[in-house]
Amino acid sequence: MKFGSKLIHNGNEIDEHTGALSIPIYQASTYHQKNMDIQQEFDYSRSGNPTRKALEDTITKLENGDKGFAFSSGMAATSSVFSIFSAGDHLIVCEDVYGGTYRIGTDFFSRFNVEVTFLDATNLRKIEESIRYNTKAIFLETPSNPLLRITNLKEGIKIAKAHDLLVIIDNTFMSPYLQRPMELGADIIIHSATKFIGGHSDVVGGLAVVKGELLAKKIYQVQNSFGAILGPQDCWLLMRGLKTLKVRMDYQQQNAQKLAEWLNEHERVEKVYYPGLKDHVGREIHFSQATGAGAVLSFKTVDEKIARNFMSNVHLSAVAVSLGGVETIVSYPVRMSHAAMPKDDRERLGITDNLIRISAGLEDVDDLIEDFNRALFLDDE
């Protein structure tokens, strides 16, 4: 079955008890046990809940994994995955990873003696050189945020496997529709379901999918012990969001492509970052591992003042930190998503004060272009 059909028909679309074309929200903390001596599938909702199970099974099928887990946020998913490692373990993480992932690596897991090396993963030689006797995993995110830098997943996974390392991928920007790293050999996939999977800017959630029984056991142990689970209402919202993932992505991606091409010609724009543009660095690698360029792009205006004016004068799009919703969202990384990063690190990564990130939504693109054009030319003193 192809992906679009799988979104609608994955075995979790009909309630087996009533035939309802929507899995009920099982708003229950505990379950009646008819016979104490017989183990039931559900006894307590931290350990398992039918609505959550339906979502977990769905994402497992969509990513082609073996077992899925729903968490209370993308960061809950990421920190739960980090929690399978032990003191003395070493992890390699790409340097332009999501800010929250950078923070748990530097501020939290370091306290438990899990060492993390952050490096430029677009340079495969650097990955190879950083592997030590105690390295246990490589964590990659591609395309990266906010400059859409591309990491070669096939080659990265090849290096990892040669050294017996686990490969963890944050697949938030692409979603399982456009990129399925498990099919390339990745072991764990993480999503901030807050973004494209939910898709409507109305729920915070995280998902993890793993390959193999051993990893499934380890992650389940963390989920059940730490208890950073997603509630049944939010699980239901994510399943509802998933049904339209393909049509949303197709349309948003088309809008992103048009915006990227239009911005690329704009006299007040210095550079556009989008894998759908012919000259985007790593474009060929990207399209060898993903089927689309996605709906996130960023651009640099010719100077900081234009960027700041743009941000205060766009009307149609929301100015917000998140992405992946039905509405176009613009953000200013230096003051928003990357404000906590030291200026030197920011500049080294190319996150400058003329940079703007766009998450393309479902509006008519002509309206977006009109609004953006006005905001780019507006010079308020």
Ligand X SMILES: *Cc1c(COP(=O)(O)O)cnc(C)c1O
Please give the residue ranges that form the binding site for ligand X (CB under 6 A): 73-75, 98, 100, 141, 145, 170, 172-173, 192, 194-195, 204, 206
Nearer to ligand X, 58 or 192 (CB): 192
Shortest distance (Å) from residue 290 CB to ligand X: 14
The pair of structure tokens assigned to 239 is 């399943």
Contact indicator for 166, 93 with CB cutoff of 8 Å: no
Residues forming the active site: 46, 98, 170, 195
Nearer to ligand X, 50 or 156 (CB): 156
Share of the chain residues as helix, strand and coil, in percent rounded to the nearest 5: 40, 15, 45
The pair of structure tokens assigned to 358 is 């766009």
- Cα-based torsion angle of the residue sequence 201, 204, 209, 214 in order, rounded to the nearest 10 degrees: 180
What is the maximal distance between C-alpha atoms in the chain? Answer: 76
Return the closest-CA partner of residue 173 out of 240, 40, 273, 263. 273
Shortest distance (Å) from residue 228 CB to ligand X: 10
Shortest distance (Å) from residue 169 CB to ligand X: 10
Shortest distance (Å) from residue 248 CB to ligand X: 16
The radius of gyration of the chain from alpha carbons, rounded to an integer in Å, stands at: 21
Nearer to ligand X, 172 or 257 (CB): 172
State how far Cα 233 lies from the chain centre. Answer: 21
| Helix ranges (DSSP H) in 110-193 | 124-130, 153-162, 175-178
Q: Closest residue (Cβ) to ligand X?
A: 74
Nearer to ligand X, 100 or 227 (CB): 100
Apex 239 CA angle, 236 and 245, nearest 5: 145
Kindly give the pairing relationship between strand 318-319 and strand 329-331: parallel
Shortest distance (Å) from residue 173 CB to ligand X: 6
Nearer to ligand X, 172 or 223 (CB): 172
